[in-house]
Amino acid sequence: MVPPTSPPARAAKARRGEGQWALGYREPLNPNERSKKDDNPLNVRARIENIYAHGGFASIDPADLRGRFRWYGLYTQRKPGIDGGRTAVLEPEELDDEYFMLRVRVDGGALSTEQLRVLGEISQTYGRDTADITDRQNIQYHWIQIEDVPTIWEKIEGVGLSTTEACGDSPRVVLGSPVAGISADEIIDGTPAIHEIVKRYIGDPAYSNLPRKFKSAISGVQDVAHEVNDISFVGVDHPEHGPGFDLWVGGGLSTNPMIAKRLGVWVPRDEVPDVWEGVISLFRDYGYRRLRHRARIKFLIADWGVDKFREVLETEFLKRKLLDGVAPPASGPIDHVGVHPQKDGKFYIGVAPIAGRVSGSILVEVAKAVERAGSRRVRLTAQQKLVVLDVAESEVDTLVDELAGLGLHARPSPWRRSTMACTGIEFCKLAIVETKARAARLVDELEKQLADVQHTLAESAISVHINGCPNSCARIQTADIGLKGQIVTNGEGQQVEGYQVHLGGGLGLDAGFGRKLRGHKVTSAELGDYVERVARNFVAQRTDGERFAQ
Ligand code: SF4
């Protein structure tokens, strides 16, 4: 007789499941889950303040260093001098420097000049004057030492900012429109909902152990890449209910990129925090915890479909039905660069650092210039740009000139305007290639090489997103030209830094992922010439008003 091995084997497989808590799988199925269960990551703050800041880098428990520190925006940065070819073969401790990247969450991208000045001064004092504006409206420092972290927190929190849950399997910074409340094009101002979510839920242990990161966006203008967030509330004018939000879920890039799906519901602004809590709770309880690369909410949506997701959200978490919604009309790309009228008669000025790179000194000088112009409000954008609000018409030209003197141009070249880059090999342990410095050289090359077609390209800027590895922190797949860092073979047969090219991705009207063309790779040295060829072909063949991604 054949022993009955098959049915029990199937049963064992089914029992293992995907690690969803709601189905009873509470035992951790991988080291990350084990670490979160052993100790809630939010508890690491006390150890940093009481032990590590006094004992120094050597005193840090590795489980905290490479795990729980992220819940406070801290990552070890890459040891200098390790080339990208060795990224995948070295052990984590061989890549770790004794310095940290520190990410400050700026929910809604909203800063006062006082906050901006303090952020700049922290960089000058503790971060070797480094500061990047990320494409999630954060400010990111480097060269931070553990001994200084409690003092930095004191200063950051003293002006109402925080690093809590800036990274980790947690609710990250909530994106919001940089022009919330002042744009004549805005359907509804999402700011009150952002404030309420941050006040109620950020730093709450009930939401600090998610299967993976959870990215949120709330905007009445389509300027926060809502298609690629885990949850987005997109402003929409409902024919019966009026201005409110259309709920999207399950967007994400990296490997297995997915455009978010509309749940088909309309949410009034004062219900956004409750619905947000319902979705994050559903993700916490039903999200897949067995495999890290299948843990984002997009995989649950892909398996369930939106109908089941909505039903479970309504019946198990909200305990009520949501109102049916209508789709918001898609908009073209919006980056807020330039000088624009506000609805109150003042102006806002959007300026473009190259790929988000600024410095502490620049932030301090921006704060001073903005105050001299009579404003107190600055915004960060999801395109790595900076926007000054509330400028009187009489002050606009002076401020534009002063900001240009800091390298922040309100009338940038198309390349300076539309190039983004992630952190890359300078500081990121996962990186394979250089990104920020390459972006700066690329902008310089293209401004010279394509000066003759600058006007045509200004009408329809080609976005170039440079990423240091496949993780897509700078949104490879939604750029006109997306560049994924990898080691490639050059004409002499040498292994050098280069990129896999993705062409024709976009958001809004052009929402979709760029095509990854097989064998379409370019070395870093040849990148300028490659982009020039692509741009010249586009200029030669484009019809009136045509965008690259069309
Ligand atoms: Fe690092 Fe890769 Fe993200 Fe760039 S895309 S910041 S290299 S993880």
Along the 550 residues of the chain, how does pLDDT read in single tens digits?
A: 333 333 334 444 444 589 999 999 989 989 999 999 999 999 999 999 999 999 999 999 999 999 999 999 999 999 999 999 889 899 888 999 999 999 999 999 999 999 999 999 999 999 999 999 999 999 999 999 999 999 999 999 999 999 999 999 999 999 999 999 999 999 999 999 999 999 999 999 999 999 999 999 999 999 999 999 999 999 999 999 999 999 999 999 987 899 999 999 999 999 999 999 999 999 999 999 999 999 999 999 999 999 999 999 999 999 999 999 999 999 988 999 999 999 999 999 999 999 999 999 999 999 999 999 999 999 999 999 999 999 999 999 999 999 999 999 999 999 999 999 999 999 999 999 999 999 999 999 999 999 998 888 887 789 999 999 999 899 999 999 999 999 999 999 999 999 999 999 988 887 889 888 777 899 999 999 999 999 999 989 888 777 787 6
Cα Dmax for the chain: 93
Instruction: Tell me which residue has its CA closest to atom 3 in ligand 1.
Output: 473
User: Sign of the C-alpha dihedral, residues 126, 128, 129, 134?
Assistant: negative
Say how far apart CA 137 and CA 189 lie, in whole Å. Answer: 17
CB atoms closer than 10 angstroms to residue 90: 13
Mutate which of 429, 434, 473 to test ligand 1's pocket (most atoms within 8 Å of Cβ)?
Answer: 473
Structure tokens given for 253:
């890039």
Q: How far is the CA of 431 from the centre of ligand 1 (A)?
A: 5
In angstroms, what is the span from residue 433 Cα to ligand 1's centroid?
9
C-alpha–C-alpha distance, residues 103 and 107, integer Å: 12
Ligand 1 site residues (CB inside 6 A) read 422-424, 428, 430-431, 467-469, 471-473
Angle at 394 between CA 388 and CA 400, to 5 degrees: 45
By most ligand atoms within 8 Å of CB, the mutation choice from 87, 213, 253, 423 for ligand 1 is 423
Q: What is the 356 CA–ligand 1 centroid distance (Å)?
A: 14
Note the pLDDT tens digit of each residue in 457-514.
887 789 999 999 999 899 999 999 999 999 999 999 999 999 999 999 988 887 889 8
Strands 515-523 and 495-503: antiparallel
pLDDT of residue 422: 97
The Cα–Cα gap between 303 and 58 comes to 44
How many A from CA of 471 to the centre of ligand 1? 6
